[in-house]
Structure 1
């Protein structure tokens, strides 16, 4: 004979168990969502930092590439002194702005337009077409191919994606006295001096879409064409 009060077996979940399970599941999903969101945000920030860094590096490399040409002179052989020869000529393209050690937001240099055996021939006179410059205007870095104000400067950075907040050029000058090479003692203050010049360029920029992403690039190069100041008697 079966028992009077048989114990029934429980099937499925109770309401309390279902609510606890749903709560735990929601907590796990919320944690996973926060983790994925943080990963996506971090990845986007790293991509923006990489883009800003690459844009600044590209602009800095272009500035250095052009600055290495500063003082290029077709008749550089005329500046070499030889015993019994006339006084050597000075390089008309050796001027640089800034002309002395210090910081500047603009750098201007000169490059001969004449090529070896190519017209026009070297006239040793600096023209507007032989002057180059880099400068910051607003939040864009520009490159000017000529001193002619009617010719528009070329932007080196895209203002829609990168905002240049600082552009500094520092000129470092090391003077090497050359008075020992004079046959006749020279007058103090007029003796020849070789200026070994190094340019340090610092560019700071920030992302337009995410201003908190700020990066700085500093590059430097030695000018290939040294400047000679003064002369022997």
Structure 2
């Protein structure tokens, strides 16, 4: 075998190897994109489901004996503090008393979604203990917006939901629109936005 033949053989071998490597890289990127897409969809669906199901329970309580409702005013059971934070509570153990352990909340902060695990404040989104809900190693939450689309009536007339009941007769059918946008940490080109409308099961009524 001459030197020229050896060089030609090396060139042909390099071309074949380059083609194989290129095919592998294309296949790897395609597989990675499928994984990114599927996991991002799954993560956002799970987060939205957890938030929605929890908010729907706001204001739930079971009457025990002669105990009256622990909710005497608008905002006692659910308070949309801002477009990025909501605080709420419900009677999980059916004793007709809302204890400190039955307060919860959700907020958007530091490119993540957080849930409240302790603390009784219904006005401060920094008080109490909060736990990260979104996976910081995989996804970055770019935005979360909570919008109030509740329908209220005061003395049988449509009106903006009041801050307090006062002496008026108030009925409120409460709905919250949730919009979340997130992207993959390792590839920001993969971005997805999900929307969900949550109707709180317990309509608020007071007179």
Question: TM-score, normalization: structure 1?
Answer: 0.65
CA gap of 1:24–1:113, structure 2 versus 1, over 3 A, is closer
Give the secondary structure class of the aligned counterpart of 2:48. helix
Unaligned runs of 5+ in 1: 1-14, 79-87, 116-120, 181-188
Residues 93 and 111 in structure 1, CA contact (< 8 A), matched pair in contact too:
no
Unaligned runs of 5+ in 2: 121-125, 158-165
Which structure is larger by alpha-carbon Rg, 1 or 2? 1
Residues 178 and 196 in structure 2, CA contact (< 8 A), matched pair in contact too:
yes
The corresponding residue for 1:44 is 32
- Residue 98 of structure 1, aligned match among 74, 80, 85: 80
- Residue 60 of structure 1, aligned match among 36, 48, 55: 48
Alpha-carbon distance in structure 1 between the residues aligned to 2:138 and 2:115: 18
Give 1:223 shift.
Answer: 0.6
CA gap of 1:66–1:76, structure 2 versus 1, over 3 A, is farther
2:91 aligned with 1:109, yes or no? no
The corresponding residue for 1:206 is 183
2:61 aligned with 1:73, yes or no? yes
Give the secondary structure class of the aligned counterpart of 2:187. coil
Give 1:203 shift.
Answer: 1.6
- What per-residue deviation string (whole Å, max 9, x for no partner) do you get for residues 112-142 of structure 1? 2541xxxxx435xx55433211112312211
Alpha-carbon distance in structure 2 between the residues aligned to 1:129 and 1:93: 20
Choose between structure 1 and 2: higher strand proportion.
Answer: 2
Residues 63 and 69 in structure 2, CA contact (< 8 A), matched pair in contact too:
no
Alpha-carbon distance in structure 1 between the residues aligned to 2:134 and 2:14: 47
- What per-residue deviation string (whole Å, max 9, x for no partner) do you get for residues 62-99 of structure 1? 00111111011223999xxxxxxxxx978348622217
Give 1:37 shift.
Answer: 2.1
Work out the number of aligned pairs and report it.
189
Question: TM-score, normalization: structure 2?
Answer: 0.72
- Residue 138 of structure 1, aligned match among 85, 107, 110: 110
Alpha-carbon distance in structure 1 between the residues aligned to 2:10 and 2:132: 58
Listed as ranges, the matches of 1:1-233 within 5 Å are 30-31=18-19, 33-75=21-63, 91-92=71-72, 95=75, 96-98=78-80, 104-115=83-94, 121-123=95-97, 127-147=99-119, 152-176=129-153, 179=156, 191-229=168-206, 231=207
The corresponding residue for 1:3 is none
